[in-house]
Each structure stands twice: as C-alpha cells, then as structure tokens.
Structure 1
Amino acid sequence: MEKIAIITDSTCDLPKAEIDKYNIKVARLKVKYSDREYTDGIDITPEEIYARLDKEIPTTSTPTLGEIDNLFKEVIAENYTHAIVIPISSGLSGTMNNFRLVADGYDEIETFVFDSRALSRAVGFLLTKVGDMIAEGKSFKEITSEIPKLRENMELYFTVDSLEHLIKGGRIGRISGSLGQLLNLKPIVSMDEEGKYYTVDKVRGSKQAFNKLVNFGLEQLNNHKCRIMVMHANVPESAQKLYDAFKDHPNLTSIELGTLSAVAGVHSGPTLFAFVYMRE
C-alpha cells in the first residue's frame, strides 16, 4: 500500500496549521548576516529583516544536502513509500537541485521532484492540492500526472513600490531598475517558463500598478472559478485593498491573505504585494 509524503521548503509560506494538517516536511532556507545565521521561519521574522535593511542586506542560502538528507531519513523511518517534492522555482534558488541530488541516493522510496516555477503561496497551492488528493486516496501516479496540469492553471503577479532590493539582489537589471526608479515606473512581475521573474508590464505610479494587478485578477475571475491568495511584504494596507477588490466576486471559490517568508522578503524588500490565482 502506498504512503505518500509531501516535502517542500520554507518559502512556501504555508501556515503551521496546514503544514500539520498534511504532515508536510519542510527544509528551511537560511538568512545570513555578517555576525549570525538565521533559519527561515524559526528564529527570524520578515519584520525583523525589514527593520534592519537600512543597516545591512543579508544573503540567503539553500537548505544543505545534510538537512535534506535528514528529511528523507525521517520519511523513510515513518514508513513512507513515495515522496512528492515541490520546492521554490529552480530559476530563483538551487534548492530544487539539492532535493534531486539527495533523492537520487534513495532507492527505497520513489520520489517525484517537481519544479514549481513559482514561490510563496503559489507553491503552497500546489502542496495543499497534493495533500487533498492524497486524502482522497489517489495514487502516486495519478497525483504526479495531475501536478503539471495544476501548475498550468496557476499564475503569480506582484508589484513593488521600490525597486531597490530587487536591483541589489540581482533579480532585475541595474540599468532598467535605475531608470524605472527615476521615472517612477512600477513593474508588474510574473514568472516565465524557466521560473524566473519577468516584467509583464510597467506603469507610472503605485495607483496604476495596483489597478493593473486588480485587472489581471478580474480577467481570470470573470471567466473562471478561481482560488486566490493575496500576499505582501510589510505593506498590509495595499494587500488588504487587493483582497477587498476580489473578495465578493461570484466566481471566487476561496481567498486568503498572508505574508511572505523572511527569505523572500530579503530579495523583495518591504514594499511588495502580490496575488496568485489557481483556476478550479
């Protein structure tokens, strides 16, 4: 009889209740300052990072091979026969490659490692869908064939009021970023086929950026039943407004509001707000 484990990393931003509900195993990324290393979601919060950004911008690192190896030993000890691993996009982090390296060393458990080409609660949507399918009694083969279809029905969009931290983190080009700041251009960003950030559009000013995000969401809701997750990095007012713009739509099947992980906050800075939709 199959027993299927779900494994991910700490940037999925799922609340503890959902991690516990599906017994999801989490490998945690690290946040590194000059004087200390922190573990994402354990001993540092996004708010603490934002408060220190004017003094030092930390670096981040993937879970180590040893830490991931310990997760695999844990699921094997719990008599899991199969594992489904969905981490942050390989276009943004080396975490997925570390998972693959470790998984290849274990013949006693059959593992499916999927490149989400996403981050944060977009990954979380995939994980909870997998958890629901396991609860429904679907087989490993059925679930792994369904995951790519789920990803095709999902998209993430975000904007930032300041490009400073995306520029410093190398997430966008310094020249285009500097010009954008000079002209007060706000990018609308999504994920490309390689799981990297790309600019969908650029608009003048924060109000236009907000309206553009709303329009992207309503375009989907007007034509499909959708789940939506709204996220932010230290801008709860903007996120609440975005949430309010969607919450009463008749095609909305569920909507939640949450915050980005500490690791994601390092790269985005404290002005990002976003939403992810999944067509039902």
Structure 2
Amino acid sequence: MQKIALIADSACDLPQEILQNYNIKLLPLRIIYKDTEFLDKINVTPEEIYKRLDTEIPTTSLPSMECIEDTLVSLEQDGFTHVIVITISSGLSGTFNSVRLMAENHPKLQSYIFDSKILGIAEGVIVLETAKLIAKGKTYEEIITIIPKIQETVSIHYTLETLEYLKRGGRIGRVAGSIAEMLNIKPIIGVSDEGVYYTHAKARGRKQSLNKLKEILNENLKNHKCNVWIIEGGAMEDAKKFLDSVKDFENIENLDLSTISPALGVHTGPGLIGLGIQRLS
C-alpha cells in the first residue's frame, strides 16, 4: 500500500494552518546576515526583515542539505513509500537541483521532484492541489501525471513601490534601475514559462501600475472562472484597498490575501502588490 508524503519549500507561501492540516513538510529557505542566519517563516517575520533592510540587505539561500536529508530520513522512519516534492522555480533558486540530488540517496522512497517554474502563492496552489489529491486517495502514479496540468493553470505578477532593493540585491542593473526610479517607472514583473522573471509591462507611477494588474486580472477572467490572491509584501493596507477594488469582478470564484515570505521580501523590499491567479476549468 502506498503512503505518500508531500514536501514544499517555504517560497510556496501557504499558511501554517494549511501545512499542518495536510501534513505538508516544509523546507525553509535561509536568510543570511553577516553575523546571523534565519530560517524562512520559522524564526523570522517579513516585518523584521523589512526593518533591517536599511542597515543590511542579507543574502538568501536554498534549504540546507542537512534539513533536506533529515526530512527524507524522517519520512523513511515514518514508513512513507513515496514522496512528492514541489519546489520554487529552478530559474530562481537551486532548491530543485539540491533536492533531486539528495533524493537519489534514498532509493527506498520513490520520489517525484517537480520544478514549479514559479514561486509564491502560485507555487502554493500547486502544493495545495497536490495535497488534496493525496487526501482523496489518488495513487502516486495518478498524481504525478496531474501536477504538470495544475502548473499550467497558475500565474503570478507583481509591482513594487521601489526598485532599490532589486538593484542593491543585484536582481536588476543599477543603471537601468536608477533610470526607472528617476522616471517613476514601475515594471509589472511576471514569471515566464521557463521560470524566470520578466517585465510583463511598464507603468508610470503606483496608480497606473495597479491598473495594469487589474488589466491582467480581467484578461484572465474573460475566459475563465479564477481563484485569485492579492499578494502583499509590507503593503497590507494597499493590498486590502486593491482587493476591495476588484472584489466584484465577474468570474472570481474565491478571493483572498497572501503575504510573501521573508526570504522573497529580501529582494523586493516593502511595498509589493501582486496577483496570484488559478484558472479553473
């Protein structure tokens, strides 16, 4: 009889309650300062990260090899026969490759390591839908054929209050970032099919950038009923206002808020507003 475990990394942005309810094992990304290190979502909050950004921008790293190994060993000891691991895009983190290599050392566990090619709550949707399939008693073989189809239904876009932290973290060129800041240009950033960031659109100022997000939402709602998450990083009041402005859009099945993890917030700084969308059949 199959006993299937599910593992995700902390970039999936699922609430702790959901992780516990579905027994989803979490691999925390790491946030590294010169004199200390934190485990994403375990012993640090986004607010604590934002407060420290003016004095030091930390680096982020994939879950430790020890954490990955301990999790897999624990699953073997608990009698699991199969494990499904869903990770942040391999184009944005080395997590996928590290887990894949570590899983090869555990032949007793039949493993499926899935590169979500996305992050945030969009990755979380894939994790949650997989958890529901396990809970329904679907077989491992059935589930691993469905996961890529779930991935095709999700997307994520966001805009930032400032590009300063992307510049300082080396995520965009300093010259391009400085020019955009001078002109008050706010890019709408998405994740491509290859799992890397790209500029979906550009807007002049905060108000226009939020209007661009609404356009993206409307494009999705034209042809699909959708579950929608308003994503925020250090911008809860703006997120609530944005949610209120779209709550009556036709074809929204469910609407909720999602806060990005501390590790993701390192690269964006406070002021992020975004959209996580799951297109329903």
Determine the structure 2 residue equivalent to 1:217.
217
Map residues 54-133 of structure 1 onto 2, 5 A cutoff.
54-133=54-133
User: Taking structure 1 as the reference length, what is the TM-score of the superposition?
Assistant: 0.97
Q: Secondary structure at the match of 1:222?
A: helix
User: Taking structure 2 as the reference length, what is the TM-score of the superposition?
Assistant: 0.96
Distance in 2 (CA, whole Å) between partners of 1:175 and 1:78 is 53
Distance in 1 (CA, whole Å) between partners of 2:152 and 2:173 is 27
Distance in 2 (CA, whole Å) between partners of 1:170 and 1:150 is 32
Q: CA deviation at 1:183?
A: 0.8
Determine the structure 2 residue equivalent to 1:200.
200
Determine the structure 2 residue equivalent to 1:42.
42
Map residues 250-265 of structure 1 onto 2, 5 A cutoff.
250-265=250-265
Determine the structure 1 residue equivalent to 2:151.
151
Counting aligned pairs with the same residue, the percent is 44
| Greater Cα offset, 155-164 or 133-142 | 133-142
Distance in 1 (CA, whole Å) between partners of 2:246 and 2:113 is 33
Please say if 1:173 is aligned against 2:177.
no
Counterpart AA for 2:80: Y
- Structure 2, unmatched stretches of 5+, are none
Q: CA deviation at 1:177?
A: 1.4
Distance in 2 (CA, whole Å) between partners of 1:138 and 1:252 is 28
Any idea what the Cα deviations from partners look like across 1:162-212, whole Å, max 9, x if unmatched?
A: 001111222222232121111110000100122111001111111000000
**RMSD, aligned CA:** 1.2
Map residues 229-268 of structure 1 onto 2, 5 A cutoff.
229-268=229-268
Counterpart AA for 1:204: R
Any idea what the Cα deviations from partners look like across 1:193-239, whole Å, max 9, x if unmatched?
A: 22111001111111000000011112212320111111111111221
Number of aligned pairs?
280
* Residues 171 and 197, structure 1, Cα contact 8 Å, conserved in 2: no
* Residues 165 and 268, structure 2, Cα contact 8 Å, conserved in 1: yes
* Residues 226 and 278, structure 1, Cα contact 8 Å, conserved in 2: yes
- Structure 1, unmatched stretches of 5+, are none
Query: Structure 1 stretches (4+) deviating beyond 3 angstroms?
Result: none
Distance in 1 (CA, whole Å) between partners of 2:122 and 2:21 is 18
Counterpart AA for 1:73: V
